[in-house]
Amino acid sequence: MSVVQPDLKYTKNHEWVKIEGNLARIGITDHAQAELTEIVFVELPSTGKDVSKGDVLGNVESVKTVSEVFSPVSGTVNEKNDKLVDSPELLNKDPYGEGWIAAVELRNQDDLSDLMSADDYRKLLGE
């Protein structure tokens, strides 16, 4: 059974969002990394890039497939996790911690209300 962190928000595409004031830190869930299997390459967005909700934020490539990571919110990319370039396995080892992908400065706080709670996400997984 995959780990769902109670204090985070989730999307149906298996991204998680951690709200840090005006910043949304984004990653992929434990379920997502388990489905992808061993991750070998991560493509990060550039900082300063403007993204709209639903835009492609980056790409995650595993031995099994390539998957797009969508931005759950609109705003400006403020930080990206450069550690993933040399150590993509962090996404497998610590998806909710060291495996974060990017942080987006929110343009619209209302975006957050569309996200799922941990309970709803657990229901989506049906585990």
Partner 1 sequence: MRYHQADYDVPLLFEACDEQKIDDRFDPTIGGAIPKGLLRSDLNIPDLPERDVVKHFINLSQMNFGVDNGLYPLGSCTMKYNPKICDEVVSWPSVASIHPHQDPSTVQGALRLMHELEGMLCEIGGVDAVTLQPAAGAQGEYTGIHIVRAYHEARGEKRNEVILPDTAHGTNPASAAMVGYDVLEIPSKNGCVDIEALKASISSDTAAFMLTNPNTLGIFEKDVKEIAGTLHDAGALLYYDGANLNAIMGKTSPGHMNFDIVHFNLHKTFATPHGGGGPGAGPVGVKRYLEEFLPVPRIIEKDGKYHLDYDQPKSIGKVKAYFGNFGVLVRAYAYMMMQGGPGLEAASENAVLNSNYLKDKLKDDFELPYGGLRKHEFVLSGKPLKSKGVRTLDFAKRLLDYGFHAPTIYFPIIVDEAIMIEPTETESKETLDRFVDVCKQILKEDPEILKTAPHNTSRRRMDEAKAARDMIFSWRGYKKKTENAK
Binding site for partner 1 (CB under 8 A): 37-41, 61, 63-65, 88-89
By beta-carbon proximity to partner 1, the closer residue of 65 and 108 is: 65
By beta-carbon proximity to partner 1, the closer residue of 62 and 71 is: 62
- Give the three-class secondary structure for 71: coil
Q: How far is the CB of 84 from partner 1 (least distance, A)?
A: 12
With a CB cutoff of 8 Å and minimum separation 6, the contacts of 30 are: 2, 3, 4, 95, 96
CA distance 10 to 114: 9
Q: How far is the CB of 18 from partner 1 (least distance, A)?
A: 27
Which helix (H) or strand (E) segment holds residue 113: the answer is none
By beta-carbon proximity to partner 1, the closer residue of 11 and 62 is: 62
Q: How far is the CB of 46 from partner 1 (least distance, A)?
A: 21
Tell me which residue has tokens 């550690």: 83
Tell me which residue has tokens 């061993």: 38
By beta-carbon proximity to partner 1, the closer residue of 43 and 61 is: 61
Q: How far is the CB of 40 from partner 1 (least distance, A)?
A: 4
CA distance 110 to 108: 5
Distance of CA 22 to the CA centre of its chain: 17
